[in-house]
Structure 1
Amino acid sequence: MESQSPTPRQADKTGSKIHQKIKRGSASAQLHGSLRERIIQLELEPGQNVSRGEIASEYGVSQTPVRDALLKLEEEGLIDTFPQSKTEVSKINVEHALETQFLRLSLELEITRRLSQSGDPALIGPAQSILAQQSAAMTANDLSAFARLDRDFHLSLFDAAGVRDLYAVVQARSGHIDRLRKLNLPDPGKLTSILDCHTRILDAIRAGNAKETENVVREHLSGTLAKINDIRERHRNFF
């Protein structure tokens, strides 16, 4: 019988959580994606020990794809390996987050400038649809859906500007800042602030107001890092 994707979780008869087995194909790529998402969602916490053997058993694979997945996560700065000692989830690196923020801001300023000067409001139709879904997720207090839709919103802007592949470049470096966002998202007023900025970005693009678009993008993308001291104070063991 065909096995299933590793990302969802299900309960066994004892009530404990297990990961579903991976599909045929690139086991290391699927495993990398699943482990990365667990790290971003802080299911695997900063500083937590990672055992190759336990991961292999959990996903029903050999240790070879586990090794390959962990090597890629190490390249992304999400795993720290100490030879002959241990492998663990990396602590959140604020300097790395700041560098990624610089890259993302540079790209999104140019993307939104182009869109605001395009004279084609249809380009942001997908983003507008995602924004409506985000609003519904906020009303339902579904933080997981809200975070996923937040990524989709920004990807749709890259796509609209014809540079979709560049989003993958940003995502490959975003592990540290994404964990900061995960910690910041439940804070009072954060969801409302995100929705407000997304709305204003689309309004400015639709109006062809490049300067206002730039101002809102700068405001939006600086939100989490402006709270870094507070986040670090509340989660000292993650840094």
Structure 2
Amino acid sequence: MIAPELTLFADSNRPDGASVGRIKRSSASEQIHSALRERIISLELEPGRNLSRQEIATHYGVSQTPVRDAMLKLEEEGLLLIFPQSKTEVSKINVAHARETQFLRLSVELEVARTIAAMADKSCLSTAREALSLQHAAIGAGDIGRFARLDHLFHQALCGAAGAANLWELITSRSGHIDRLRNLNLPDPGKPANIIHYHGLILKALEAGDMSAAEAAVRAHLSGTLSQMKEIKSRHPDYFAPSER
């Protein structure tokens, strides 16, 4: 039986990658923020691309007010650059910001691993186990986009299991730059298999209560993308600010 969190996740996944279209006005700003953020993180809206507030408002069938609010929140997260009375564009990838967020995430996830490894009852890992199972299926189906979202869910589930769900929300709000780097790295040969390998190692260590092995697996897993920075930049130089190329 699929856990409720995973059912909701799976149902929200559009296999054709199509836009969600018109949305309810009751939470327009939040929904537009989520929709635009997903498109930026997935690189559908690539770094440096200009965005029109009017076009976005027309697309979603809302006024420009919720679009403005959503854009301001995305600017706070470092994903948009808003030039008043001029233009709004998707920010270039900031490597320093990515490294800072990685430091925060590693610190949290190491403590998460220690906490779960010390637990006697491992039933809290059920959602993470199922996320890993669904990742295997996503790779078998060649659905890289769904695989990436399940990767996010795997780590979210671990934070939730350790009672640190709010910290995962903090990490997510700051992860725009590092997540874009990961999505640039994800199509590389062997990368999805590598992610699944480390997810399996992490779960195995946590289930065995092996704190040392869990910490080692978390460190190795989270270091992968930044270690490939040179290669990623060489393939996508226009996605980075000139000073970072």
| TM-score between both structures, scaled by the size of structure 2 | 0.89
Moved more, 115-124 or 62-71: 115-124
Structure 2 residue aligned with 1:195: 196
Q: Is 2:185 the partner of 1:184? A: yes
Partner of 2:169: 168
Describe the SS at the equivalent of 1:26: helix
In structure 1, C-alpha distance between the alignment counterparts of 2:85 and 2:187, rounded to whole Å = 38
- Distance in 2 of aligned mates of 1:80 and 1:173: 15
For residues 89-136 of structure 1, the C-alpha deviation after alignment (integer angstroms, 9 at most, x for no partner) is: 000100110011011000000001111111222221221121111111
Identical amino acids, percent of aligned pairs: 56
Alignment of 1:40 with 2:41, yes or no, is yes
**What pairs with 1:131-146 in structure 2 (closer than 5 Å)?**
131-146=132-147
CA positional deviation for 1:85: 2.2
| Residue in structure 2 matched with residue 119 of structure 1 by the alignment | 120
Verify the 8 A CA contact 1:97 1:174 in the aligned structure 2.
yes
State the match for 1:84 in structure 2. 85
Name the residue aligned to 2:6: none
DSSP-derived class of the 2:50 partner:
coil
- Structure possessing the higher relative contact order (Cα contacts under 8 Å, 6 or more residues apart): 2
Distance 1:71 1:212 in 2: 42
> Residue 49 of structure 1 aligns with which residue?
50
- 1:18, CA displacement in angstroms? 6.2
Distance 2:178 2:76 in 1: 16
Structure of greater Rg: 1
Mapping of residues 202-221 of structure 1, within 5 Å: 202-221=203-222
Do the aligned partners of residues 137 and 8 (structure 1) sit closer, same or farther apart at CA in structure 2, a change above 3 Å counting? Answer: closer
* RMSD across aligned positions (CA): 1.9
Gaps of 5+ in 1: 1-5, 12-16
Structure 1 SS opposite 2:82: strand
**Does the CA contact (< 8 Å) of 1:10 and 1:18 recur in 2?**
no
Superposed CA offset, 1:133-187 (max 9, x none): 1111111111011111111111110111111121110100011111111111110
Counterparts of 1:66 and 1:132, CA distance in 2? 37
How many pairs does the alignment contain? 229
Question: Is residue 25–residue 62 contact of structure 2 (8 Å, CA) maintained in 1?
Answer: no
Quick one: distance in 1 between partners of 2:130 and 2:39?
27
Mark the runs of 5 or more structure 2 residues left unpaired by the alignment. 1-11, 241-245
Q: TM-score, normalised by structure 1?
A: 0.91
Is the CA contact (8 Å cut-off) linking 2:109 and 2:218 kept in structure 1?
A: yes
Counterpart contact for 1:200–1:216, Cα < 8 Å: yes
Between stretches 44-53 and 83-92, larger displacement belongs to 83-92
Q: Which moved more, 1:117-126 or 1:189-198?
A: 117-126
> Match for residue 108 of structure 1?
109
Secondary structure at 1:87's aligned position in 2? strand
Checking the alignment, whether the CA contact within 8 Å between 2:23 and 2:31 is kept in structure 1 is: yes
Hey, what does 1:14 align to over in structure 2? none
Conserved 8 A contact 2:118-2:211: yes
Contact 1:7 1:20 in 2 (8 A): no
Residue pair 1:8, 1:20 contacting (<8 A) in 2 also: no
Give the whole-Å Cα distance in 2 for the aligned partners of 1:64 and 1:8. 27
Residue 9 of structure 1 contacts residue 19 of structure 1 at CA under 8 Å; is this kept in 2? no
Q: Please state how far the C-alpha of 1:82 moved relative to its aligned partner.
A: 1.9
Q: Deviations over 1:47-73 (max 9, x none)?
A: 000111111111111111111011000
